[in-house]
Copies of this chain bind each other. A is one copy, B any other.
Amino acid sequence: MQKNMIQDKVLTTKEKILQRAQALFAQNGYDGLRMDALAQEAKVNKATIYYYFKDKQSLYETIMCGVAEAFYAQVEHNMMGIKGDKARLSVFIDSGLDFVQTHRDIAKIMMVELSFEWKNVTPKTEAKFLPILQRLHEILDSGIQNGCFKMINPILLHSVLIGGFNYYLLIKNIYKRFEQKEHNETGHNETEEMEQKMTIPFSDGKEEIKAMILGYVVKDEK
């Protein structure tokens, strides 16, 4: 998080390139990233990028694989030693929400890649994502089979968790812009509903989503 600032000088050239590339891919997408811009941002010569990475696609692949591994590692780490389906589901949900919140660049890249139907994802990268999906399934399936979870399509749960939350974080940004603009433009005659918006501050969102999911999935215990 704050590594960038503190360790900026410590990063190797390759790491510097990867770091900036991730940010730029997230901002502009695969086609939108310009190698010139990346070189400038990473403060290296354009040719230096090609010293470390075969081409743009390979740079992207490196990032995507890193993403997959990072996500998998975090979930694995968090789940370690957790027993009981409900506890495991709870930890899993928290892990997912945290990852999406902490790794904004990655979440965005994934979202876009998903929208483009995995267009720029190579088989190698795809293979890295498989274990993650399998792991999610194991967890959810176990709960369903043990009877403490309602029968639910695991993918759907996953979607609400990751897709819903990521969308929330994204739209919050846009929303704030709307409000600022309106505020500037309308002067003081805000409508009541706009007042209303202000009274419901942007919540963290994680707890609500978790509650929404658990409320649906976990069977009432009597």
- Residues of A whose CB lies within 8 Å of any CB of B are 26-32, 108, 111-112, 114-119, 126, 130, 133-134, 137-138, 141, 151-156, 158-160, 162-168, 170-175, 177-178, 182, 193, 196-197, 200, 202-203, 205, 208-209, 211-213, 215-216
Given A167-B162, A212-B160, A216-B208: A154 and B116 interface contact (C-beta under 8 Å): no
How distant is the Cα of A172 from the Cα of B162 in the complex, in angstroms?
14
The minimal Cβ–Cβ distance linking A73 to chain B, given in whole angstroms, is: 20
Given A137-B196, A196-B141, A208-B216, does the pair A28, B116 have CB atoms closer than 8 Å? Answer: yes
The CA-CA distance from A29 to B31 in the complex, in Å, is 8
Cβ–Cβ contact B153 & A159, under 8 A: no
| A160 nearest in chain B by CB position | B164
CB distance from A195 to the nearest CB of B (A): 10
Supposing A31-B32, A168-B156 touch, asked if A216 and B205 sit within 8 A by C-beta, the answer is no
- In the bound complex, residues from chain B placing their C-beta under 8 Å from that of A200 are 151, 153-154
CB distance from A172 to the nearest CB of B (A): 7
Task: Evaluate contact between A119 and B28: CB separation under 8 angstroms.
Answer: yes
**Hey, which chain B residues are within 8 Å of A118, CB to CB?**
173-174, 177
A118 closest partner in B (C-beta): B174
Provide the bound-state CA to CA distance between A141 and B118, in Å. Answer: 38
Measured CA separation A126–B181 after assembly (Å)? 11
- Chain B residues with Cβ below 8 Å from A193 are 134, 137-138, 141
A72 to chain B, nearest CB (A): 15
Chain B residues closer than 8 Å to A158, beta-carbon distance: 171
Q: Which residues of chain B have C-beta atoms less than 8 A from A30's C-beta?
A: 32
Q: Is the CB of A163 within 8 A of B155?
A: no
Q: B159, A171: Cβ atoms under 8 Å?
A: yes
> What's the nearest-Cβ distance from chain B to residue A167, in Å?
2
Which B residues are CB-close (under 8 A) to A116?
27-29, 32, 108, 112
